């Protein structure tokens, strides 16, 4: 519900203050070069309560902590501008149509997903971006979805949680993810541009292919110095120009498997409540990004068509990301 979303927001806010405090401390630590800005910490929070429509369902909450580091220029090939390594730790919560669903009315499995992802992004002079990542994680009781959600609701007096007795069984997953983006067009004033993006995931968790354009409008930087691709990290002494832009990102997905809905791919007993997926899904993001000096702030809304072969409806949620460069 909305109250749960507000509570989670303040939790994220408190953690962000901690990260900023540590970042400022490290920035004044003599052994680090603050002029270079070669590392970045970021916190991302997803929640359907950010739409202010009194909704608490499906992908209901997510949080991730992200660290990025710029690789030494001497390791680059001639056609590359930079390489950035990344590490993310995250947690996601999934409900049925709400957190007190009766079995007969459940339209999506209850489950949680705890994951760790490591990746590398390569940025090229022709403004193409290749991102490769490996993600491993755990679904089921080992991901602590039930105790976390119940503790939140009990602490703040929200509605009683039920439905976790029917969550997915424990399941380890491992995926390989590849994203590729290429600049297609930009106007001379550098206020509007168009990218074409491709997303591929293969493994035991998410299997899909997605393709779509990205439109940015505002004050924008090249793709290898833009907050959109988390590429503002800079090894030189000069500062990267500030950015403020709106963006629209529609993606058409063809999906083969989704372990958050269908359960463990290799498990015989996947759990008491599993469903098939809709193979075709259309996703839309509408957002705004502001980045200046060391700070990056992004907020967007996500709208997905129906994902589950059940009575489940289309789903939407909001996301907020705050990053700080060292």
Assess whether pLDDT exceeds 70 at residue 244: yes
At 21, is the pLDDT very low, low, confident or very high (cuts 50, 70, 90)?
A: low
At 115, is the pLDDT very low, low, confident or very high (cuts 50, 70, 90)?
A: very high
| Predicted pLDDT of residue 287 | 98
pLDDT, one tens digit per residue, over 220-240 is 999 999 999 999 999 875 789
Q: Where are the beta strands (DSSP E) in the chain?
A: 39-47, 59-70, 80-94, 111-124, 128-139, 171-186, 192-203, 206-219, 243-258, 280-292, 295-304, 315-325
| Predicted pLDDT of residue 311 | 93
Mean pLDDT score, 68-78: 87
Mean pLDDT score, 28-33: 41
At 35, is the pLDDT very low, low, confident or very high (cuts 50, 70, 90)?
A: low
> What Å distances lie between residue 220 and 112, 148, 170, 180, CA to CA?
36, 39, 44, 19
Q: DSSP H helical segments within the chain, as ranges? A: 2-27, 145-156, 259-262
> 193 CB contacts (<8 Å, ≥6 apart)?
183, 184, 185, 186, 187, 215, 216, 220
Least confident segment among 8-22, 169-183, 298-312: 8-22
Every domain of the chain and the residues it spans: 2-325
At 22, is the pLDDT very low, low, confident or very high (cuts 50, 70, 90)?
A: very low
2-325 placed in CATH 3.60.60.10: no
Q: What is the pLDDT of the chain when averaged over all its residues?
A: 89
pLDDT, one tens digit per residue, over 252-269 is 999 999 999 999 999 999
| Predicted pLDDT of residue 49 | 85
Alpha-carbon distance of 264 to 152, in angstroms, equals: 27
Assess whether pLDDT exceeds 80 at residue 13: no
| Predicted pLDDT of residue 159 | 76
Residue-wise burial string across 7-37, b where 16 or more C-beta atoms lie within 10 A, e elsewhere: bbeeebeeebeebbeebeeeeeeeeeeeeeb
* Residue 158 DSSP class: -
> 74 CB contacts (<8 Å, ≥6 apart)?
none
% of the chain at pLDDT higher than 70: 87
Assess whether pLDDT exceeds 70 at residue 303: yes
The tally of CA atoms less than 13 A away on the side-chain side of residue 247 is: 27
Residue with tokens 């469903």: 275
Mean pLDDT score, 164-175: 96
Alpha-carbon distance of 55 to 317, in angstroms, equals: 9
| Predicted pLDDT of residue 55 | 81
């Amino acid at each position: 519900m909305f109250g749960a979303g507000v509570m989670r927001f303040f939790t994220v806010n408190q953690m962000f203050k901690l990260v900023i405090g540590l970042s400022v401390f490290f920035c004044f630590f003599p052994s680090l070069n603050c002029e270079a800005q070669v590392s970045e910490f970021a916190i991302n929070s997803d929640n359907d309560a950010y739409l202010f429509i009194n909704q608490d369902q499906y992908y209901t909450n997510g949080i991730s902590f992200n660290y990025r580091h710029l690789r030494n220029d001497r390791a680059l090939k001639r056609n590359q501008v930079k390489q950035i390594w990344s590490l993310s730790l995250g947690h996601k919560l999934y409900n049925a149509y709400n957190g007190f669903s009766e079995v007969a009315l459940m339209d999506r499995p209850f489950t949680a997903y705890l994951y760790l992802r490591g990746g590398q992004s390569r940025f090229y002079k022709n403004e193409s971006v290749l991102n490769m990542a490996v993600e491993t994680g755990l679904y089921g009781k080992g991901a602590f979805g039930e105790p976390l959600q119940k503790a939140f609701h009990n602490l703040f007096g929200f509605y009683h949680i039920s439905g976790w007795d029917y969550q997915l069984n424990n399941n380890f997953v491992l995926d390989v993810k590849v994203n590729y983006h290429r600049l297609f067009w930009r106007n001379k004033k550098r206020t509007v541009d168009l990218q074409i993006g491709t997303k591929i995931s293969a493994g035991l968790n998410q299997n899909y292919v997605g393709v779509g354009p990205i439109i940015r409008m505002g004050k924008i930087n090249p793709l290898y110095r833009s907050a959109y691709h988390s590429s503002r990290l800079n090894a030189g002494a000069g500062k990267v120009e500030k950015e403020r832009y709106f963006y629209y990102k529609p993606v058409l997905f063809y999906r083969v498997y989704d372990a958050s809905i269908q359960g463990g791919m290799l498990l015989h007993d996947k759990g008491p409540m599993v469903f098939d997926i809709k193979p075709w899904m259309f996703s839309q993001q509408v957002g705004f990004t502001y980045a200046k000096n060391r700070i990056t702030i992004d907020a967007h809304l996500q709208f997905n068509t129906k994902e589950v072969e059940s009575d489940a409806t289309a789903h939407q949620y909001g996301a907020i990301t705050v990053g700080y460069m060292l």
